[in-house]
Chain A
């Protein structure tokens, strides 16, 4: 892994998304929740796309999800991942609704569509923690 190139790919921490990143560092998945209609959203956004309310709070959610699909990237698009190919990516539907791209943390074999997963929190270089998922199969 080209750590310097990888650091550049990470989303910048902004006042608006800081609660998300603070949550990961604390071992929690926190999502923005509309104060008016209760809809969860990801990534952070100034308005609720459902009711357009600008009022929201950040709440810890279950971290439970289901694998919607997955793929294996063979192409070297990013310098940061050039040494990693081929690598697997998953698309997870969180129990609260939003869909997120992520990876399974250190699990052998192929992801399985429909499989239940839960959030895990992986510290990385540069004082950040990132969201990954586990089926519970790994140690």
Chain B
């Protein structure tokens, strides 16, 4: 059960740390409003452009200041046209998957560090609700057809396979995920733009219907419309902008690529390798994290993450999350905006924004006290993690 993430291992090596890149501006849709008005068909480019405008306004910049553009789940052409961002020096589209949120920030940081761009806009948008996306049951690729022919489909179902085995190995009871569902909703209740703002009880959680058993509807991310943008630049430039810069103290990643979403060790070894790299680069270990933003496409992912990144002992994260440790006011508050089951499913991008708002002290009712260090973690076929700190 012991983990190898003792903090003393992570001293030194700071020369490798990325010390000079910051997020300076953030923008998000009002997810609650978009979800409440189901009569409205949302255009992804409009959502993206509005979030971009908000992110620019947040840092006091204009589109003329942006010379790097990373578009995720949308195409740079229509986006650049709509926003008048017609001549950026570097442009790249990334696929619309959750794993890309960490990758997009890494790419933005690399561009700024290398000088390929000075100020990078990362823009994500989805109209999954308007488009009626189901994230399962679609056409499979030739290899995926060997699963679909039995009725196996959807990332959630692959997660349910991993979680069933996790429960078997570590004795997690039927209500093991309830504290995660309850925590996300409790945080969503303090977030005015969260889609779901009503708190839930354990009984309500257990009454939630199964989708791919053992997973319930309340273990699944929301399917909703919205957009997120953030502006990344060098710390030198950041200090001249309107908001307090949020430093990307370090970032790390490693892929685990295969035909199936099922990782035989629940991405443990891959996550532990990313954690090792991240904590070394930053000189910061899990005990120094004030607030965690954990990619939660499905709630078991949180357990795998906490264990892989050394926050909780292997096989015991389901016990570690009980008794308030992850709640606001607890030792390590998690998914303070409500995460993907309560705030919005922006495939990790809105969790980045929440990290920024927490470091800035802008999180209102859900603000973590003295929040100087926030960690983002995403466990998926590309595992990524960053540590954000105040300048």
Contacts and interface: CB of A to CB of B under 8 A. Distances in A.
Contacts of A99: 260, 262, 264
Given A9-B145, A11-B142, A113-B165, A74 B210 contact: yes
Q: Which 9 A-B pairs have the closest CB atoms?
A: A77-B137, A72-B213, A81-B151, A11-B145, A69-B165, A71-B160, A101-B147, A77-B136, A69-B161
B211 interface: yes
Given A9-B148, A99-B262, A130-B149, A73 B157 contact: yes
A3 to B, nearest CB: 13
A30 B161 CA distance: 25
B212 A72 contact: yes
A21 to B, nearest CB: 11
Given A77-B136, A91-B262, A99-B262, A68 B150 contact: no
Contacts of A77: 134, 136-137, 151, 153-154
Interface of B: prevailing SS? loop
Interface of A: 6, 9-12, 14, 42-43, 68-75, 77-78, 80-81, 84, 86-87, 89, 91, 99-103, 113-114, 130
Nearest to B160: A71
B164 A11 contact: no
10 contacts: A9-B140, A42-B146, A43-B146, A43-B259, A72-B212, A73-B213, A74-B209, A81-B151, A99-B264, A103-B150
Nearest to B161: A69
Contacts of B161: 68-71, 89, 91
A111 B160 CA distance: 14
A66 B210 CA distance: 26
Contacts of A9: 140, 145, 148-149
Contacts of B168: 69, 113-114
B147 to A, nearest CB: 4
A69 B149 contact: no
B151 A68 contact: no
Nearest to A70: B164
Given A68-B165, A99-B262, A113-B165, A73 B151 contact: yes
A14 to B, nearest CB: 8
Contacts of A91: 161, 262
Nearest to B262: A91
A9 B264 CA distance: 26
A77 B152 CA distance: 9
A74 B146 contact: no
A11 B259 CA distance: 15
A65 to B, nearest CB: 14
A77 to B, nearest CB: 3
A130 B165 CA distance: 25
B154 A75 contact: yes
Given A68-B161, A130-B149, 15 more contacts: A6-B149, A9-B148, A9-B149, A12-B145, A69-B165, A71-B157, A75-B154, A77-B134, A77-B153, A77-B154, A99-B262, A101-B146, A102-B150, A103-B150, A113-B168
A89 B146 contact: no
Nearest to A79: B137
B162 interface: yes
Contact of B151 (A70, A87, A100, A113): A87
Interface string B198-224: 000000000001111111000000000
B143 interface: yes
Contacts of B145: 9-12
Given A9-B145, A73-B151, A113-B168, A86 B134 contact: no
A109 B260 CA distance: 26
B212 A11 contact: no
Given A9-B145, A12-B142, A73 B212 contact: yes
A65 B153 CA distance: 22
Contacts of A6: 149
A68 B210 CA distance: 21
Interface in B354-377: none
Select the residue from A9, A81, A99, A100 with max chain B CB neighbours within 10 A: A9
A115 to B, nearest CB: 11
Nearest to A72: B213
B37 to A, nearest CB: 26
Contacts of B152: 73, 89, 101
B262 A75 contact: no
Contacts of A80: 151
Nearest to B137: A77
Nearest to A6: B149
Contacts of A81: 151
A58 to B, nearest CB: 16
Nearest to A20: B146
Nearest to A74: B210
B137 A43 contact: no
B162 A74 contact: no
